[in-house]
Structure 1
Amino acid sequence: MSDALINGLAGAGGGIIAQLITYPLQTVNTRQQTDRDPKHEKRKLGTIAQMCQVVKHEGWERLYGGLTPSLVGTAASQGVYYYFYQIFRDKAESLAIEHKKHGIGDGTVGVFSSLVVAALSGCVNVLLTNPIWVVVTRMQTHTKISKKSQPSIHTVSVDPDEIVPVAMEPPPYGTSNAIQELYDEAGIWAFWKGVLPTLIMVSNPSIQFMLYETMLKKLKKQRALRKKGENGVTAVEIFLLGALAKLGATVVTYPLLVVKSRLQAKQKTTGDKRHHYKGTSDAILKMIRYEGFNGFYKGMSTKIVQSVLAAAILFMVKEELVKGARHLLTKGRTTAVKSRPP
């Protein structure tokens, strides 16, 4: 099994576990980003309070709206990203070694090269998986009719002279409903809504991995100097490094995430032009005009908690899975060698 495939599968596994743990926070954050109701601004509900509101009025299941496509998207995104990241990383390392032979550099991949590798991997990931995330955003922002509100009334005729009203529950809003809704709005191109700010946002994982690998490299170097060549890193240290790297990347790129969510959410068809965006530049200009720069940071505290926690879990689980896979492969090869006849 190639190193790229091991990293891809480990990244997918780590991403799924992180997503399952932090998904309610992600749902609340997406709603915060896409909320344009002035009444909500006055209430200023915190993250926990908003989660309680969703549970109270819409039920627990709405905190996990879009979970199925989100898990598919997470597995696909992390798998694609780590797979191509490892391929591009291997090529960058080969180039670094070649350059060293010609007297250029020290043979290691520098910060700028790491940034380029992460950016290229992110672009491939975005172009392949954007349709999944458009569906997820649409499902997360779909608001179920309040439990306390009256259900719709449907009349049925039991007797020719008598009409009996029957309470009807609204049909559930699932993945197929979101897909059909998107296709009806703009055809196949609807699934690539928000792709421009998302492509620009590849700088987020680029910054994240640049910070992570820089800190990890320094930590291993310090560990090797202290313990005479031993540079092992614990799962807790990986967790903390992943959290710090994600925190830095999230603060820098959060405004782009808000714009992307606004474009992917269902556009309101009311006459209020503030609620309808024609594209990325139109969304940015309208947000500045009607909401100010504060609009670009709606729900950032929730996102920081969710993304930092998710990234830390992902890094920790991924590294452990990679170690486990390599150990099993090495053990398998050793056993095979020993079992060979002399």
Structure 2
Amino acid sequence: MANAVVNGLAGAGGGIIAQIITYPLQTVNTRQQTERIAKKADASSAAPPPPRSTLLQLIQVIRSEGVGGLYSGLKPSLFGVAASLGIYYYFYQVFKNKAEAIAATNRIRGRGDGTVGMFSWLLVAASAGSLNVLLTNPIWVLVTRMQTHTQAETKMLEAKKEALRNEASQSGIIGASLQEKFAELDSIKPQPYGTRHAASEVYNEAGIAGFWKGIVPTLIMVCNPSIQFMIYETSLKRLRAKRAANKQGSKDVSALEVFLLGAVAKLGATLATYPLLVVKSRLQAKQDIGGNISLRYSGTLDAIIKMIRYEGFSSFYKGMSTKIVQSVFAASVLFMIKEELVKAISVLVNKRPKYLLNVVK
């Protein structure tokens, strides 16, 4: 079986398991990223409430929406992870094989030592990542919508209540009709929100182009896995080289070592690219969540400008601690399981009779 296919299948399997384990943290993190609280214009105005800890937010979601609230959008997310990582690892291995073949050819010609350089690793990861983004972005738009649906609906209700309060304040009287409207708004609860509903909403808002919202920062964020895999592959190569230099030791890398290398690689990539992730999430989330124009974004540049103007630079790092925990743990699990699956699949294939191996190849 071609190693690109093996890596694609193993990557998809590892990604699904990592996604299931860390999904509640991902849901809370997406809500943290898309929480939009504009700074008050004057000092006398009440300051926005301090951000709640991740644990408190997890508890709040469970209390208000049940455990299922933490898994909003899980089904399309699992499909997205399988498709995304399958595509990514397949093309990553294809481009990696090509880069290694070029390096070997250059060595024969007297150029280089036959190893793939750091820039080549970046190019390999970026090429695979770009193809992945273009093909799977619609899935992640739907997942983001489903994760933030309750949050957006609550914001819209709060905006309507605030409008009623202003109306009552101007008139000085809360009449029966206003009381009825308040009671009606209090009785409204966010409705169940499935994949089909999310897709319909996205299409009604912006047509087919709506499914590629956030594509610009997402494409730029291709450098995240590029940095991640550059760190991972470089560290793995050095570790194996050290093992090979030790004649008494084995150059095989353990699952725990792969876990730790994956954690270090993902941490470095996340720290470098987190602001882009926040912008992407905000563009993909529902825009019509109140009358305040500072909460709506028409595009990437508009989002960046409004976030700086109305919320300050700190808004680009909302939920970063949660993301570091979630993404580093997920990446570590992914790398560990993926490497073990590659080994398992290779063993299974090698144990097959020769006539079956020819069919597989």
Q: TM-score, with normalisation over the residues of structure 2?
A: 0.84
CA distance in 1, matches of 2:319, 2:279: 13
**Corresponding residue to 1:61 among 64, 68, 91:** 68
* Counterpart residue number, 1:262: 282
The farther-off stretch of 226-235 and 208-217 is 226-235
Mapped partners of 2:5, 2:15: distance in 1: 15
Long gaps (5+) in structure 1? 150-166, 338-342
1:240 paired with 2:247, answer no
Tell me if the contact between 2:37 and 2:311 (Cα under 8 Å) persists in the aligned partners. Answer: no
Which residue type is aligned with residue 118 of structure 1?
Answer: A
Equivalents in 1 of 2:189, 2:48: separation in Å? 30
Aligned in 2, Cα 1:40/1:171: closer, same or farther, shift over 3 Å? farther
| Aligned amino acid, residue 117 of structure 1 | V
Tell me the residue number matched to 1:20: 20
Which deviations, in whole Å up to 9, do the C-alpha atoms of 1:25-50 show, x marking residues without a partner?
00000000000136995232100100
Task: State the Cα RMSD in Å.
Answer: 2.0
Matched, 1:329 2:336: no
Aligned to 1:311: 331
Q: TM-score, normalised to structure 1's length?
A: 0.89
Secondary structure of residue in 2 paired with 1:233: coil
Aligned-partner Cα distance in 2 for 1:336–1:5: 17
**2:139 maps to 1:132:** yes
- Partner of residue 190, structure 1: 210
Query: Secondary structure of the residue that 1:113 maps to in structure 2?
Result: helix
Q: CA 1:230 to 1:42, structure 2 compared with 1: closer, same or farther past 3 Å? A: same
Query: Cα deviation per residue 1:115-157 (whole Å; 9 max; x = unaligned)?
Result: 10000000000000000000000000011779xx9xxxxxxxx
Identify the residue that residue 119 of structure 2 maps to in structure 1: 112
Tell me the CA shift for residue 229 of structure 1. Answer: 6.4
Cα deviation, 1:172-218, whole Å, max 9, x if unaligned, reads 11111100000000110000000000000000000000000111111
How far, CA to CA, are the matches of 1:25 and 1:300 in structure 2?
11
Match of 1:47 among 47, 51, 54: 54
Distance 1:215 1:175, change over 3 A: same
* Distance apart, 1:272 and its partner CA: 1.3
Match of residue 198, structure 2, among 178, 183, 208? 178
Give the deviation of 1:263 after TM superposition: 0.2
Structure 2 gap segments, 5+ residues each: 39-45, 158-186
Residue 232 of structure 2 is aligned to residue 212 of structure 1: yes
Call closer, same or farther: CA 1:336–1:9 in 2, change over 3 Å.
closer
Secondary structure in structure 1 of the residue aligned to 2:57? helix
Farther off after superposition, 213-222 or 308-317: 213-222
More relative contact order, 1 or 2 (CA 8 Å, 6+ apart): 2
Identity %: 63
Which residue among 240, 251, 257 is the counterpart of 1:231?
251
What's the counterpart of residue 31 of structure 1? 31
Q: Could you say which residue in structure 1 is the equivalent of 2:6?
A: 6
Q: Equivalent residue of 2:49, what SS?
A: helix
1:196 to 1:27, Cα distance in 2 relative to 1, 3 A = same
Greater percentage in strand? 1
Alignment deviations for residues 58-111 of structure 1 (CA, whole Å, 9 cap, x no partner): 211110000000000000000000000000011111111111122111111111
* Cα distance change, pair 33–100 in 1 and its aligned pair in 2 (3 A): same
User: Which of residues 99, 107, 110 is equivalent to 1:103?
Assistant: 110
Q: Is the 8 A contact 2:11 2:89 kept in 1?
A: yes
